[in-house]
Amino acid sequence: MNKIALAFAAALIATTACRAETDPPAPLMCAGTEPFWNFRLGGETTVIATPDDPGTPLTISDYRAAINQRGEWSAKIGDNVAVIRQVESCSDGMSDEEFPYAVTLVTPENTLSGCCRPFAE
């Protein structure tokens, strides 16, 4: 199942066109719960971290805007793919905070869901 999700995400990246005017607002802080994970989307590198693993630097490449949907983007993060969607409200399920972006992170091992918010550097 994860191979199918990874193939779908890779196809999304391969078939979309990058348009600067529709790039996601950067940087974004993205995170998910159960299991806990996070990464910062922006710049050329990031780290996908968990409480047990501080992660290693990964290259961010292939920022893409969906060609058939406004407010949806993807980025390749090392061997992973993040798909970000602008939403009315995303809940992390743990706090009362509402986030303006939902994220799906497809790794070689898992497909994870979470939320993102603008992040001031």
Kindly report the pTM of this predicted structure.
Answer: 0.77
Q: Sketch out the chain's domains with CATH numbers.
A: 2-118 (2.40.128)
pLDDT confidence of residue 24: 65
Q: In this predicted model, what pLDDT tens digit does every residue of 10-36 receive, in sequence order?
A: 554 444 433 344 566 679 999 999 889
| Alpha carbons 15 and 111: distance in angstroms, whole number | 20
What is the band of 100 on the pLDDT scale with cuts at 50, 70, 90? very high
The pLDDT, as a whole number, for residue 4 is 53
Tell me the per-residue pLDDT of 51-93, one tens digit each, with 9 for 90 and over: 999 999 999 998 888 888 889 999 999 999 999 999 999 998 8
Tell me how far CA of residue 2 lies from CA of 36, 60, 69, 89, in angstroms. 19, 21, 24, 26
